[in-house]
């Protein structure tokens, strides 16, 4: 019995020793910082995590992508600068236009009006992707794909006067992003506008510095502003379309194999994002209603006068974008 006991003790000791000397999981060869602009519970952040998980799996853990959502590393204008410098590796953000006004291209009002159109317009083989990739690359940023967020509306702390009539002054001061396309669109619909940084929008609505916000989907407005907005007008005259981007400095340091893995993962997210956005559009409109926000929705026929009005602003962008680009854009998207 004593020999048996000694035998089992020896075996147990060897097992423990084997566990102690077992090599730890290999550390990743490359760690990429991935910046986002929405909170952790937002669909966009969940898609970022999906991308990180797929890349880790497909590279056998060689590449780890670490998420920094909710403007943790700065707002989208700062993040884009850091992508150019190479101090941030990846981002899923609204692309700003301080380095090239033509980057406002995919936020032009009125050229995409349905989710079916969005599936085609923002595909990796589409005109918009090719043009945006060209413009980003000139600045040192690689476009990997679009993550379609949905259609933008207007949230406000007070009622809007006749929101479907672009000839009527709306009676509110509206926050817009610092982009000419949003300024032209909002003012064409009868709003007075003010530019406020993204991370100051909540406080500005709360203290009355602004009375409405333009540039957000229902999902973003609900998750960030549900405690301050009282009204939502689902006007769908523009889109939120995040750009999945990588610093060219980071891109050029990756192998062809790893570039392909990341690009394929982004293509999957681009494809699924429109379907998720379509579900989120309705989901968060209902969430707003449940939170006591007064939600106004409209038929395509009711929205038609707004689409006509904002589309008439395209020619005004020629000075900033170049006449050649606007002519090319109108050839692709103008309606008869």
Write out pLDDT tens, residues 58-108.
999 999 999 999 999 998 999 999 999 999 999 999 999 999 999 999 999
Whether 336 has a pLDDT exceeding 80, the answer reads no
Asked if the structure places residue 9 within a domain, the reply is no
> Does residue 22 form part of some domain?
no
Give residue 92's domain range. 30-333
- Residue 14 · residue 21 · CB < 8 Å: no
**For the stretch 232-261, what's the b/e string if a residue is b when 16 or more beta carbons lie within 10 angstroms of its beta carbon?**
bbbbbbbbbbbbbbbbbbbbeebeeebeeb
Do residues 316 and 187 lie in contact, with contact meaning Cβ atoms separated by under 8 Å?
A: no
Domain-located, residue 42: yes
Q: What distances in angstroms separate CA 81 from CA 73, 86, 89, 134, 168, one per listed residue?
A: 12, 9, 11, 17, 39
Instruction: Round the average pLDDT of the chain to a whole number and report it.
Output: 91
- Give the separation between CA 84 and CA 248, rounded to whole angstroms: 8
30-40 average pLDDT score: 94
Counted domains in the chain:
1
Q: Write the pLDDT tens digit of every residue in 110-164.
A: 999 999 999 999 999 999 999 999 999 999 999 999 999 999 999 999 999 999 9
- Asked if residue 25 belongs to a domain, the reply is no
- What CATH number did the domain enclosing 104 receive? 3.40.190.170
Cβ atoms within 10 Å, residue 26: 9
Domain assignment present for 258: yes
Confidence of residue 15 (pLDDT cuts 50, 70, 90): very low
**pLDDT above 50: residue 22:** no
- Range with lowest mean pLDDT among 8-22, 57-71, 319-333: 8-22
């Amino acid at each position: 019995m004593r020999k048996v006991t000694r035998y089992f003790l020896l075996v147990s000791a060897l097992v423990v020793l084997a566990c102690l000397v077992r090599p730890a999981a290999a550390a990743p060869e490359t760690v990429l910082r991935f910046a986002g602009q929405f909170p952790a519970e937002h669909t966009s952040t969940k898609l970022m995590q999906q991308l990180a998980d797929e890349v880790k799996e497909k590279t056998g853990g060689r590449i780890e992508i670490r998420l920094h959502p909710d403007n943790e590393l700065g707002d989208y204008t700062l993040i884009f600068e850091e992508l150019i410098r190479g101090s941030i590796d990846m981002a899923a953000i609204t692309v700003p236009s301080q380095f090239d006004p033509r980057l406002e291209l995919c936020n032009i009002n009125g050229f995409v009006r349905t989710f079916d159109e969005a599936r085609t317009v923002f595909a990796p083989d589409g005109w918009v992707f090719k043009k945006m990739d060209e413009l980003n690359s000139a600045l040192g940023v690689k476009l990997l794909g679009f993550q379609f967020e949905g259609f933008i509306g207007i949230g406000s702390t007070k009622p809007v006067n006749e929101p479907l009539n672009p000839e009527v002054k709306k009676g509110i001061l509206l926050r817009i992003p610092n982009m000419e396309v949003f300024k032209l669109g909002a003012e064409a619909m009868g709003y007075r506008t003010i530019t406020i940084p993204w991370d100051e929008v909540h406080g500005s609505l709360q203290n009355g510095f602004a009375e409405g916000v333009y540039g957000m989907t229902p999902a973003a407005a609900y998750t960030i502003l549900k405690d301050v907005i009282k009204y939502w007008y689902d006007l769908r005259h523009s889109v939120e379309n995040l750009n999945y981007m990588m610093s060219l400095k980071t891109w050029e340091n990756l192998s062809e194999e790893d570039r392909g893995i990341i690009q394929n993962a982004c293509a999957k997210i681009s494809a699924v994002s429109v379907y998720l956005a379509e579900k989120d559009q309705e989901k968060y409109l209902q969430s707003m209603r449940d939170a006591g926000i007064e939600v106004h929705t409209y038929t395509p026929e009711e929205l038609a006068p707004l689409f006509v009005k904002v589309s008439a602003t395209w020619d005004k962008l020629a000075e900033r974008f170049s006449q050649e680009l606007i002519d090319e854009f109108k050839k692709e998207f103008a309606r008869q």
